[in-house]
Amino acid sequence: MPIHNADIARIFKQVADLLEIEGANPFRIRAYRNAARTINDQTQSVASMLDESRDLTELPGIGDDLAAKIAEIVETGHLRMLKKMEKTTPENLTDLLQISGLGPKRVADLHEKLGIDNLQDLGEAARKKKIRSLKGFGKKLEQNILKEIERHTTNGARTRLSEAEQVATPLRAYLGQVEGVKRVVVAGSFRRRRETVGDLDILATCKKGSPVMDRFTAYEDVAEVLSKGKTRSSIRLRGGLQVDLRVVPEASYGAALYYFTGSRDHNIAVRRMAAKNDLKINEYGVFRDDAEDKERIAGASEEEVFATVELPFIEPELRENRGEIEAALEGSLPRLIIADDIRGDLHAHTEATDGRSSLTEMVEAARSLGYSYLGITEHSQAVTVAGGLDRRRLEEQIEEIDRLTDRYAGFRIFKGIEVDIREDGSLDLPDAVLKKLDFTVGAVHSRFDLPSDKQTERIIRAMDNRHFNILAHPSGRLINQREPYTVDMEKIMRAALERGCFLELNAQPDRLDLNDHHCRMAKEMGLKLAICTDAHHVGGLKNMRYGIYQARRGWLSSDDIINTRKVADLQKLLKR
């Protein structure tokens, strides 16, 4: 079974968490944490680097010892050291670290003194009021633990970006109307367009005496006010999402926006650069560290802040410390794709299967978005729950599209299908009908449980069929609901590249599949992607922007995406 980077990272993170609970040397703990991050952020699989006999110590933060451990994991699937640790410290104990207020020391106490091994034990002990009597704990912390456990179990720890938007947009509008408020902006992971957010970080500037904090904590959707101050307050909304509001002076607006946009790792790296030039960057501005009067030399805008360290503006989606600072320094930042670059959508359903709009409605909607083409891709027969098309019904739809085409001069309806990839890798419809289409997207809808090598083989076999063009939602994950099936994505991408196929970046906000790392992996390989909405009704076509965000997080430019091409050019790409 091939070992993915995420598997290795998970093992290292687990080691770090356990070491922390054991009270190990902080440098040692950090080494494992950093290694986990480094590996997670690698676009190439570490296992394949080993195959190519590459020296893993080239990777930042990986020394001989960690390189040997990685090799052990790749070879055996686990790490003996971790197994040994788990004998003395139960593995689920690390879940307790997610509870705010519980650090490693307290977790160790809970384990030693009350025999607590996991979150469930913790909840039970809290309900039985056993925790308050422990030294250094108390009643308040016990109650807080209960609340936190509740939150963890009722809603996943992170909120999907689209859901966060539904909360952030009205809240932002509400704050914008408060007397004296000048600017309101949502920073944090929300601004970086991460697929999920932990909480919302809102910044505001306002005139003296504005009642913004009172109005914030009085917002109708508030379930709980966590803290309230002059410059910073926190609330928990009814849906469970936490929101922090910070009020900053106008002169610090850019510095604060920069600081609270993060990511933390990006900020730290830039701050370190600044420190070398005796500059200090914080949420109030940029200051000359050597000057007596700590004069502020920048802060009103983000551009100003970047300029002090001689960097161009770096788009928020790139600020993850994944090489963007180095790229900015050498002038090689990508020119990121924007919504306007998209000329059409290549994955859409109609009421012929499980869609809810008619073919005409879908075409009209695509035209009104300014597109020049739309690919119609119904499910195929195997997907019975969606009323998938058999050969006869697909042929009927082909005729219907032919009839409709004449009505829309200058707009192209691409005849396609979302053909099911069977367990053996064959396609769910005969070549004789597939060849009548302009293109196909292929997708896995069953047997998500196949082992990685089988699943990978299955998909590559499907791509062997020369009618196969685009692999739809390549990992099958549903954010917060269903894990991706295990495949060797790199291998699939190479196979696609060799065969003239493409992968989809599915823009549905609960899919966003490929993820940002995979997008970047594709780019580095030279594999082009299609950003598609998989719309099941006219409104679904508008999800394109989520795909754009994800693509931007994956460093993609217009050129990396096939549905930015003009009809004629796209047609060539879809001819294998």
Residue 199 contacts Ca ion per CB under 5 A: yes
The helix or strand, by DSSP H or E, that contains position 280, with its residue range, turns out to be: strand 279-282
CA–CA separation, 114 and 137 (whole Å)? 13
CA–CA separation, 359 and 397 (whole Å)? 9
Strands (E), 352-497: 373-379, 412-420, 441-443, 470-471
Residue 188 contacts ligand DGT per CB under 6 A: yes
CA–CA separation, 110 and 135 (whole Å)? 10
Q: Which is nearer to ligand DGT, 137 or 306 (CB)?
A: 306
Q: Which is nearer to ligand DGT, 517 or 536 (CB)?
A: 517
Residue 244 contacts Ca ion per CB under 5 A: yes
Distance from first CA to last CA of the chain, Å, rounded?
32
| Nearest Cα residue to 342 out of 558, 571, 574 | 558
Q: Helix (H, G, I), strand (E, B), or coil: what is residue 504?
A: strand
Nearest approach, Cβ of 41 to ligand DGT (angstroms)? 15
Catalogue the long-range contacts made by 275-284 (C-beta closer than 8 Å, 24 or more residues apart). 277/309, 279/308, 279/309, 281/255, 281/305, 281/308, 281/309, 282/255, 283/248, 283/252, 283/255, 283/256, 283/259, 284/248, 284/249, 284/252, 284/255, 284/256
Nearest approach, Cβ of 70 to ligand DGT (angstroms)? 27
Q: Which amino acid is at 60?
A: P
271 CB contacts (<8 Å, ≥6 apart)?
A: 280, 281
Output the six-digit token pair for 391.
Answer: 């050969």
Q: Helix (H, G, I), strand (E, B), or coil: what is residue 229?
A: coil
Write the interaction track for Ca ion spanning residues 200-229; mark x where CB under 5 A is met and - where it is not.
-x----------------------------
| Nearest Cα residue to 367 out of 409, 418, 337, 417 | 409
Residue 336 binds: one of ligand DGT, Ca ion, none (C-beta under 5 to 8 A by kind): none
Q: Which of 118, 143, 263, 405 binds ligand DGT (CB under 6 A)?
A: 263
Q: How many helices (H) and strands (E) does the chain have?
A: 23, 17
Residue 2 contacts Ca ion per CB under 5 A: no
Q: Which is nearer to ligand DGT, 261 or 533 (CB)?
A: 261
Nearest approach, Cβ of 198 to Ca ion (angstroms)? 5
CB-nearest residue to Ca ion: 188
Cβ proximity of 329 and 311 under 8 Å: yes
Residue 264 contacts ligand DGT per CB under 6 A: yes
Of 32-40, 257-265, 376-384, 404-412: span binding ligand DGT (CB under 6 A): 257-265
Q: Which of 262, 484, 509, 540 binds ligand DGT (CB under 6 A)?
A: 262
Q: Helix (H, G, I), strand (E, B), or coil: what is residue 216?
A: helix
| Nearest Cα residue to 376 out of 410, 345, 408 | 345
Residue 468 contacts ligand DGT per CB under 6 A: no
Q: Which of 267, 321, 380, 456 binds ligand DGT (CB under 6 A)?
A: 267
Nearest approach, Cβ of 410 to ligand DGT (angstroms)? 43
Residue 159 contacts ligand DGT per CB under 6 A: no
Count CA within 13 A, CB hemisphere, residue 189. Answer: 16
Nearest approach, Cβ of 262 to ligand DGT (angstroms)? 2
Residue 560 contacts Ca ion per CB under 5 A: no
Residue 121 contacts Ca ion per CB under 5 A: no
Residue 197 contacts ligand DGT per CB under 6 A: yes
Residue 232 contacts ligand DGT per CB under 6 A: no
Residue 267 binds: one of Ca ion, ligand DGT, none (C-beta under 5 to 8 A by kind): ligand DGT
Nearest approach, Cβ of 213 to ligand DGT (angstroms)? 19
Q: Which of 121, 142, 195, 201 binds ligand DGT (CB under 6 A)?
A: 201
Of 22-30, 206-214, 256-264, 371-379: span binding ligand DGT (CB under 6 A): 256-264
Residue 258 contacts ligand DGT per CB under 6 A: no
Binding site for ligand DGT (CB under 6 A): 188-189, 194, 197-199, 201, 259-260, 262-264, 267-268
In the complex, which residues of this chain contact Ca ion (CB under 5 A)? 188-189, 199, 201, 244
